[in-house]
Amino acid sequence: MVSRHSYQSDPIIEQFLDETWSIHGLSDNTLSAYRTDLRHLDKFLQQQKTSLQAVELTDLQDFIAHRTEIGTSKNSQARMRSSMRRFYLFLLQKKLIQKDPTALLGKTKLDARIPKSLTEEEVEQLLSTPSDDDVIEARDKAMLELLYATGLRVTELVSLTIEQVSLRQGVIRIVGKGGKERLVPLGEVAGEQLEQYLNLVRHELVDTASSDVLFPSRRGRQMTRQAFWHRIKHYALKANIQSELSPHTLRHAFATHLLNHGADLRVVQLLLGHSDLSTTQIYTHVAKARLQELHAQHHPRG
């Protein structure tokens, strides 16, 4: 058995990642997920005395069974299968293998998972918690308002630059997954909060000539998504919000609240940057549940 310290990953993994990035422009998060999945597979195959290029369908099935046994979630398994399919298609195109071992690999059946969201009242509590009198909290307030107003991913939020924002037109230009661009309206409240932040606060955090990061950290650098996630949890605790949170809670709230107020599903899809409408449709379950609750409360025969 290969020990944890003697494992050496197959160089073909990095070649695959480099070429996939250069051709498709995938995000760092996606590439990191591919690397993790393929290294798990590579290590498992080495322990079975075989290799990535010599693999058979039964080897992949054994690997999936192994990951299931150690408690890998269905979502992670689905992503893992996607990583393997893309990797072996690459090997096939490079003529490094004769046939695709994933061709007969089944799909992981995912449970319809309804995203955790917040009520409109809870969002109001959260957004009103940061103080305008503290530089860091004023920055965070602008970030939270922008997050809720636009439905951005946290990664998209923390990587925003000054040039991506047009206060005059009231939009921001987002470069999302796969390098795809979309324009998202700011909304009146978020626009005002952002303008106030840019005029009164940002220069306290960074020399405007030295950085174009929209929301710099205390050190004047781009924040990590983990750092901002900690800030969200901090304000939720102060606001006494009991609902379960995730880094995308305000993104989920953005989508759910739009649908609750009658927004078209395809419009929400465009705003969120989803390439597939089915990804957006999960929010209709949340909106439907809310409508049923309102019907039960207010209809005379509810």
Per-residue HEC secondary structure of 282-295 comes to HHHHHHHHHHHHHH
Does this model's pTM top 0.85? My answer is: no
Q: Where along the chain do the CATH 1.10.150.130 domains lie?
A: 11-93
53-57, long-range: CB < 8 A, 24+ apart:
53/12, 53/91, 53/96, 53/97, 55/101, 56/101, 57/101, 57/102, 57/103, 57/104, 57/105
CA geometry: angle 183, 125, 170, nearest 5 deg: 20
Exactly one of 67, 248, 252, 257 is catalytic; name it. 248
pLDDT tens digits for the chain (302 residues)? 444 446 788 889 999 998 888 777 777 888 888 999 999 999 999 888 889 999 888 888 888 888 887 888 878 888 898 899 999 999 999 999 999 998 888 765 544 555 667 889 999 999 999 999 999 999 999 999 999 999 898 889 999 999 999 999 999 998 876 677 888 898 899 999 999 999 999 999 987 667 899 999 988 889 988 899 899 999 999 999 988 787 788 888 888 888 888 888 787 788 887 766 666 666 666 555 555 555 566 556 54
Exactly one of 177, 231, 233, 285 is catalytic; name it. 177
Contact (CB, 8 A) for 108 and 77: yes
Question: What tokens appear for 174 in the block?
Answer: 């987002």
For the chain, the straight-line distance linking the first and the last C-alpha, in angstroms and rounded, comes to 63
Question: What tokens appear for 223 in the block?
Answer: 């924040």
- Could you give the 3-state DSSP secondary structure of residue 257? helix
Among this protein's residues, is 203 annotated catalytic? no
What is the per-residue pLDDT for 291? Answer: 52
Residue 63 CB partners (closer than 8 Å, separation 6+): 40, 41, 44, 45
- What's the CATH class of domain 11-93? mainly alpha
Exactly one of 79, 81, 141, 251 is catalytic; name it. 251
What is the per-residue pLDDT for 302? Answer: 47
What is the per-residue pLDDT for 208? Answer: 63
DSSP secondary structure of 144-209: HHHHHHH---HHHHHT-BGGGEETTTTEEEEE-GGG-EEEEE--HHHHHHHHHHHHHTHHHHS-TT
Task: Give me the helix-helix angle, 135-150 and 249-260, nearest 10°.
Answer: 50
Q: Where along the chain do the CATH 1.10.443.10 domains lie?
A: 120-298
What is the per-residue pLDDT for 200? Answer: 93
- DSSP-derived secondary structure letter, 301: T
Among this protein's residues, is 40 annotated catalytic? no
Among this protein's residues, is 252 annotated catalytic? no
Q: Which residues pair with 216 in a beta bridge?
A: 222
The whole-angstrom separation of Cα 259 and Cα 215 is 29
Among this protein's residues, is 248 annotated catalytic? yes
Exactly one of 88, 148, 235, 283 is catalytic; name it. 283
Exactly one of 67, 153, 252, 257 is catalytic; name it. 153
Topology adopted by domain 120-298:
hpI Integrase; Chain A (1.10.443)
